[in-house]
Structures are given as C-alpha cells and as structure tokens.
Amino acid sequence: MVNMKNSTTTSGNGPIVKFHNCLILRNHELINDELWISGSNIIDPESLFYNEKILPDQVVDCKGAIISPGFIDVQLNGGFGVDFSYDVDTVNVGIMTVAKGILAHGVTSFCPTLVSSHPHVYTKVLPHLKRCVGGKHGAEVLGAHVEGPFINPEKKGAHDQATMQTFKNGMESIREVYQHIDSICMITLAPELPNAIKVCIELNEIGVIVSVGHSMANIAQGELAVNNGASFITHLFNAMLPFHHRDPGLVGLLGSENLPPGKIIYYGIIADGNHTHPSTTRIAYRSYPKGIVLVTDACSAMGLSNGVYHIGQQVIEVTGTKAFVQGTNTLAGSVATMVSCIQYFWATTKCTLVEALEAATLHPATLLKIEKHKGTLAFGSDADFVFLKPNTLDVISTWIGGQCVYQNDKFDELITTSENCSVSKKKSSNS
C-alpha cells in the first residue's frame, strides 16, 4: 500500500484544498476538472498527488458550479455612495467601501478610476491608490486609472472642462499634474494633443499603460499612438468621433493593418445596454473579439437607488439604469456591476461563455501585463476565483488568495461551505 502524506507537513505555502464536481475555465475552455490550491496559489495536482503522494487537507464539493478566474475591472469610478474623485478627504474609507462591495459581484481586482480633476485632487488621492493586496477587506487594488485631464474638451463627456490640461511641457506636465506617478497603472489621453506621442513613448518606458480616449483623433493619429506604446481604447464608441466610412477614427483601430505585427489593441466596452446599442456591441465583438475588455465605468450610484450623486465635481442624476450629468442628456458613467456586464454581453452577442468570461478576466489581465498571476486558473497563478451558477452566471462565492471573501446566502445548496469560507454572508439582494 502506498503511504499518502499529510500536506501540512510537506506543502509550500499553506493547506491544500481540492475543489471537485465543477466546470473550470482553463486554457480557453470550460472543462470538467478539479481545482487544487495551496494557500494563495493554484497548484498542479498531478505532480503533488502522483509524485509526492500528498492528499489534500480539505475537499470541497462544488455541486456543478462554474469556477472562473476572478473578474478584473480596469475602469471603476466608485460605487456604494463613493466617488474616488470627489470624496478626496475620505478616500481611505471610500476605497475600502468599494473594494468590499464589489466582492459580491465577482470582482477580485480593479483599477480605481479618477475622472479629470484639478492637480490638488491627484495630490491627495493618488497616494492612497497604490497597488494593494486584496483579501477579506476587499478586492485587490491594481493602481489608479487616471482618465484625463489630458483629453480633448470637444469630447469631454461628463468631465469638467475647467480641469482640462495640455502636454505643454511634455512628460513634465504629467509629473506636475499627477505628482504621484508611481500610483498610476493606466492613463487615458487624447493622442491628437500636441506632444502626446512623445508622452506615450515615455509612459510606455516606465510601465504605465496608455489608453486613447475622450478624443477627436482620426485613424492616422490613433495608429501613431498605438505604434508608440498605446494599447487600449477607453470605452469604445463613447467620447470619440463616430465611425465614418472614409475615416473611422479610433474605432477604425480594430481593423487597422498599420499596427505593430502581432500587437493586440484592447478596447473597453460598457456592456450595460445604455452606452452602446446592442448591434454596436455585436459589431465590435465580431470584428475584433480578442481585444474586448468589459468595464463597468461605474459611478458612485452603483449598488444604490435613484437619486443625485457626484462623478468628480459634476452633479449627476440617476434614474433606473442610467446616470446623466444633471440637467443634460450626457451619460455620466454607469450603475452596472461587472457580473451584470458579463451577463448582458453574453446574451447580446451570443458569444461563447468562455469568451464572455475571458473579456472580464484574461483580457484585462493581459492588457495590464499581469496575466501570469491574474485572470487565469493556470498552475502557479494567484488563487483568485469566483463560483458562478451555471446558465445564469449569478455569483455564488468569491475567493481571493485562496480565502472565501464573499458568499451569497441564496446559493448555499450549490456549494459545501469550506472552513476557509468564514466571512459573514451578505444578502442575495446585493448580487
């Protein structure tokens, strides 16, 4: 008889847990398999079980649930009454409120997003938005996405024109406005602004993701930006020139042959049924599926009822599923959650379930260059994942670093609660 060892005396970084009776998203497929974790990492059970003869410390019956990598939101302005660009004096509390709240919607990491603001806002807020490991306190912060203020006033959307800046001094203008570049993960800028291309090059060199958006750029200007480091388009179709058959603008990047060989241009889609017509969403997906990244662009009203809120210094009114700058018909972010965006995108485009999930996991992770650790269930990656109800994709539970950080009490019958899942349950109405 083979002597099987207890993992706690031989394993690397923690107790070993085996999840079985589940569908796992791995290698671009949903497969019937087991998920094994050791502490905060996903591990290869074949090597562990057959070579080292180690049994798991714990076995969890998933009862047919789907296990997906945790969702990643690269554009999130706030939620649950918090706006990162407005609540500058309480940003520490605000970031915790949002990071905790989005666990119910399957988000395990995100980029807190600041709309165009005055320099003193960045000075106060950015130091609190540095990368921060997630856990029971909330989703992991990946660094800030600063959406502006280096954008075109003609496509300002819900941004305050009084905050707009230019690259008068090139990269020095970036340093003067933001001060804390080390807290920034991504910058949205208008590539047609003078000196913008030089700035793209320098930002790329220091590892900051460059996104083009809130822009009047034609396709040639967009191509120039991508050839000099830009890799993302902020909320495609919104706050940019509309597609024209003789000059498709930034939208035309999805079909351009004048980009670096092999480079994927990623683009955000706010799949809330308001920011783009269903047909428009389908056109983007069908023309360039490998680049789609689902974003919520959620404002402070996410998770709350109708009322008056803020996005930056702008007052917004929320009615139903729409948020407008007060007194206008200008959309001001969304009230959508990430799981609702996935559900809407899946239903609207008739894409595969794998494609819908990867648009909120692998694609944003690859855009941010963290795909070796996030957005995947590959061996060695972080044990950040979400249990989903088959067919509906409702969130059952959310896990970060191998710990259950949220469980929906509506779905107790679908998963045996493990001893790791010791957090307080939230009411199903939050999901």
Is 190 marked within a binding site? no
Q: By the 8 A CB rule, do 296 and 338 touch?
A: yes
**What's the token pair of residue 334?**
């969304």
DSSP structure class, residue 413: G
Give the closest residue to 363 by CA, choosing from 108, 114, 73.
Answer: 73
Residue position matching structure tokens 């809130």: 214
Is 154 marked within a binding site? no
Is 310 marked within a binding site? no
**What's the token pair of residue 188?**
């949205």
d(CA 95, CA 78): 8
Given 297, 382, 384, 394, the catalytic residue: 297
Is 246 marked within a binding site? yes
DSSP structure class, residue 328: S
Is 254 marked within a binding site? no
Hey, what amino acid is at 401?
A: G
Cis amide prior to 153 (ω within 30 degrees)? no
Q: By the 8 A CB rule, do 276 and 338 touch?
A: no
Q: By the 8 A CB rule, do 100 and 329 touch?
A: no
d(CA 117, CA 114): 7
Active site residue 297: yes
DSSP for 245-274, written as a single string: SS--GGGGGGG-S-S-TT---EEEE--SSS
d(CA 183, CA 175): 12
Is 180 marked within a binding site? no
d(CA 169, CA 299): 32
Is 148 marked within a binding site? no
Is 331 marked within a binding site? yes
- Per DSSP (E only), the strands in 140-278 are 140-141, 144-147, 184-189, 209-212, 230-233, 266-269
Q: In Å, what is the CA distance from 258 to each residue of 22, 77, 405?
A: 43, 33, 45
Is 414 marked within a binding site? no
d(CA 165, CA 55): 59
Is 230 marked within a binding site? no
Is 158 marked within a binding site? yes
Three-state secondary structure call for residue 175: helix
d(CA 324, CA 313): 13
What are the residue numbers of the active site? 297
Give the annotated binding-site residues for Zn(2+).
147, 214, 235
Give the annotated binding-site residues for substrate.
158, 238-239, 246, 275, 331-333
Give the annotated binding-site residues.
147, 158, 214, 235, 238-239, 246, 275, 331-333
